Amino acid sequence: MTTPAHPLLIVGSIAFDDLDMPSGEHRDVLGGAATYSSLAASQLARGGVRVVGIVGTDFPEAHLEGLRTRGIDTAGVERAQGKTFRWHGRYSSDLASRTSLDTQLNVFADFSPKIPAAYRSSPFVLLGNIHPKLQLDVLDQVQKPRLVVADTMNFWISGEPTALAQMLARIDLLVINDEEARQLSGIHNLVRAAADIRKRGPSMLIVKRGEFGALLFDESGTFFVPAYPLEEVLDPTGAGDSFAGGLLGYLAARGEVTASTLRKALYFAASLGSFCVEGIGPSRLLSLTRSELGARIAAFARLVDHGGELSLPG
């Protein structure tokens, strides 16, 4: 394998998920933001994905080996005494909402990301949804990345506003959902919420809206990517993380961040998100082939192809 030119560093959770789905109950499912993001990214940035996370002694080496066979570097995954982070969630019958039944942080409670020396020059960095102080710790350890992307959540927005503000000032692109954008800005209208958030640091903002697609706000204006319409959705868990991983994977593969590559990257992000929800846990990402991804991207292009110029009729 050739050395990838533009490695991607992903920091985030690795977990066991217990999933109560309308279709049945699933236990000990491989989960966590870093897992989904790295699997999605590895479809595009082959051999160039590096993961930093923490697992307990109960975490099967086979799971890490599964990541490695997809070209993901797991040397940054720390194994600590104790149990792996575990989340138990129940989804509504239409999968539109979910309830957290139990969250056991376990070894994740003391997670303090240590970026291996070999990772510190990674030009692309994805900071998964962890404490903003830890996100800042990561940024203190890396050397001038070309692109820093971060996720966050309502828990940190309300509970850690100071650390969050410091984090926002140091990143290039924030990827959050619509409710988080509204909470962070205090503004309901997403166009105005985006303008407010972009003043706080990130020059680029992506607002995810689940099955309703995503909006990008950057210096070139506003861009929209739909969600790919699926006949069957099995499990939304990890869709947002797969979206972020697909986004970064494409940008890392291309090695540049321009208005144009970013807009194309959003289609790869949405494609990886669409595959994620087709299987329980990360199963569909694990079985995904390059030709399947290529076919979906082509179908996606047809979905939005309005045939060229839109002009007023005479």
Q: Output the CA–CA distances (angstroms, integers) from residue 130 to 45, 64, 104, 134, 160, in the order listed.
A: 23, 21, 15, 7, 11
By CB under 8 A, which span of 108-116, 122-130, 198-206, 256-264 interacts with its own copies? Answer: 256-264
What does the alpha-carbon distance between residue 113 and residue 6 come to, in Å, rounded to a whole number? 21
Binding residues among 104-123 for its own copies as defined by CB under 8 A: none
Neighbours of 80 (CB within 10 A): 16
203 binds its own copies (CB under 8 A): no
Determine which residue in the list 118, 165, 169, 298 makes contact with its own copies, applying CB under 8 A: 298
Stretch near its own copies under the rule CB under 8 A, chosen from 129-137, 166-174, 219-227, 240-248? 219-227
222: contact with its own copies by CB under 8 A: yes
Residue range at the interface with its own copies (CB under 8 A); choices 29-37, 140-148, 166-174, 214-222: 214-222
Choices 56-64, 117-125, 196-204, 301-309 (CB under 8 A): range interacting with its own copies: 301-309
Q: Which of 94, 102, 140, 219: binder of its own copies (CB under 8 A)?
A: 94
Residue 100 CB burial class (10 angstroms; 0-12, 13-18, ≥19) = exposed
Sheet with 15-21, edge to edge strand ranges: 24-31, 15-21, 85-91, 98-104
Contact between residue 223 and residue 173 where contact means Cβ atoms under 8 Å apart: no
Contact status: 311 vs its own copies (CB under 8 A): yes
Q: Which residues pair with 193 in a beta bridge?
A: none
Q: Tell me the site size for its own copies, rule CB under 8 A.
A: 51
According to the binding rule CB under 8 A, does residue 226 interact with its own copies? yes
Residue nearer to its own copies on the CB measure, 30 or 239: 239
Residues at the contact surface with its own copies, assessed by CB under 8 A: 44, 94, 188-192, 209, 212-213, 215, 221-226, 229-233, 250, 253-254, 260, 263-264, 266-268, 290, 293-294, 297-307, 309-314
